[in-house]
Structure 1
Amino acid sequence: MMPRAEVLKDIITDLRIATTFVAIFPVRSSKSAADGAIARATWALPVAGLLVGLAGAAAYAIASKLGLTSGPAALLALATTTLITGALHEDGLADAADGLGGGRTRERKLDIMRDSRIGSYGACALVLSFGLRWSALAAIANPWLVTLALASAHAGARAGVPAFMSLVPPARLDGLSASAGAPPGRSVAIAFGIGTLCLAIALGPGKALASLVLLSLAGLILARLAIRQIGGQTGDILGAFEQTGEILILLVAAASLHAGG
């Protein structure tokens, strides 16, 4: 049995690694991708996501205190989360949309995903992503409920990433997804547990279940598309999965609110 100090050290290291894949903060780690550290650290992705969501919620609360209405406040919240993450997941969504939507061969689709330029599919995907998330937050309006929605969305959306990485093989032999490797079952289970707990606390059991069902369906559809078109997942596909999760959870939060839930 490992000493408590060693266990705590490993937890902190995993949190640092997860943070580097969620935020632009210069967090260093003594472990490298080669020894499977990234795959093992994926359990901490929803924890890092929770911090991003809370930062966006803080921006919303400050904007509300300053007298801004829900529309501008929601836009500032999204700007904050996008800035903190360096638009990493938005970039993945755009590249994935361009790649899956364009190109006739597997090789061409992968080349498009690696191209830094944005195409029409990517632009449309970004407009839809920001538009749906903004409208959901603006509809929720109440700063405390926005905090719960953002925290659960950013944690829950990342909770499924380890499972997606584990179940869907990498499309390339190189690249971040391939070098990270498949997360072990323990990391997948912990991430899922943390995400489920965040959803249940923030949205309630019923809405948490609805979110999980929608996330699972979206993951299955995206996995099928990725496997059929490019042979598996890439970092861009993972970014698209995260963005889809955020959108779905925020929409569930907004819809349940107006349904009296």
Structure 2
Amino acid sequence: MKGLILLFRFMTRLPIGFDPKFDSDELGKGMRFFPVVGMVIGLVLFAAFWLLGYIIYSPMVMAVLLVIIEVVLTGGLHLDGLADTFDGIFSYRSKQKMLDIMKDSRLGTNGGLVLILYFFLKVALLVEASNSSPVIMPIMLLLSPVIARLNSVVNCGSAPYARATGMGKTFVDHTDGLAVLIATIITAIFVGGAAYLFVIPYEILIVIPVVMILGYLFAKLMTRKIGGITGDTLGAVVEISEIIAMLGMYILAR
């Protein structure tokens, strides 16, 4: 429980009343429950969708506002990792130079481009989902944060940490096959429960293994490029997986 609370405090900007003493081991062990963080974020976005629906009638405005709300909920933590990862990987330098670039707080051209493309694609998917069916956008908002965070657990369990030290190292050190299995079961139960509750075809569960396979391949690519994963690549895989999950749900819903 302490690890989960620490995970909420570290990975979100949600107001958590209880402030436990920081413990890196407990934080690392909490990684197996990372999809639970996604559940809370998804539920907040889901609620925001229905509340805003009473005053916002434009799908475009709705999509932009919901994307902004999600950024506020996470503090842009994973987006920072996404930008840093693309700045480093697409610099085509040595492994060490890539790691140095990723650690640099400045935003480069590749990082800026990927953020622009990310937001365009995310808003477009939400708008198109809204035009396709009134229930698809809220389902995307509810489920994609959960599936995306499962992939972060997959990465921690399938690749070494690229640096000798770093905050992300505690997650890698405490994530094994059992942790990945627990995270997968939590995600599958949540997605399956949502499918049952909202009368959605259970084919939506196919999105989970597809995203996991792509996440595993991403971890192997990072291992080949920089010798493993880092806190930045963990943030990147969350954001990339969320887009893939949304795209998968959009395709299945059509």
**Structure 2 length-normalised TM:** 0.88
Maintained 8 Å contact 1:39/1:184: no
Say yes or no: does 1:226 pair with 2:222: yes
Say yes or no: does 1:199 pair with 2:191: yes
Report 1:46-61 matches (<5 A): 46-61=35-50
- Shift in Å, 1:31: 4.9
- 54-63 vs 145-154, greater mean Cα deviation: 54-63
Q: Report the identity percentage.
A: 28
- Shift in Å, 1:241: 0.8
Give the aligned length.
244
- Shift in Å, 1:236: 0.7
1:149 aligned to which of 119, 136, 140: 140
Maintained 8 Å contact 1:64/1:70: no
The runs of 5 or more residues in structure 2 that have no matched partner are 196-200
Counterparts of 2:162 and 2:47 in 1: how far apart (Å)?
Answer: 38
1:252 aligned to which of 241, 244, 248: 248
Say yes or no: does 1:122 pair with 2:125: no
Report 1:95-244 matches (<5 A): 95-141=84-130, 144-180=135-171, 181-203=173-195, 204-209=201-206, 211-244=207-240
The runs of 5 or more residues in structure 1 that have no matched partner are 1-10
Query: Per the alignment, do residues 217 and 184 of structure 1 end up closer, same or farther by CA in structure 2, a change over 3 Å counting?
Result: closer
Counterparts of 1:124 and 1:217 in 2: how far apart (Å)?
Answer: 26
Aligned to 1:85: 74
Maintained 8 Å contact 1:61/1:143: no
- Shift in Å, 1:93: 0.6
Aligned to 1:4: none
**Alignment deviations for residues 88-120 of structure 1 (CA, whole Å, 9 cap, x no partner):** 111111111111111411111011101111112
Maintained 8 Å contact 1:160/1:191: no
User: What is the aligned-residue RMSD (CA, Å)?
Assistant: 1.9
**Alignment deviations for residues 25-66 of structure 1 (CA, whole Å, 9 cap, x no partner):** 364223500xx2122111221111111122222332233210
Amino acid at match of 2:234: L
Maintained 8 Å contact 2:28/2:170: no
- 19-28 vs 151-160, greater mean Cα deviation: 19-28
Counterparts of 1:140 and 1:161 in 2: how far apart (Å)?
Answer: 25
Amino acid at match of 2:179: S
Aligned to 1:5: none
Counterparts of 2:157 and 2:245 in 1: how far apart (Å)?
Answer: 22
Amino acid at match of 1:159: L
Counterparts of 1:166 and 1:182 in 2: how far apart (Å)?
Answer: 8
**Structure 1 length-normalised TM:** 0.86
Say yes or no: does 1:22 pair with 2:22: no
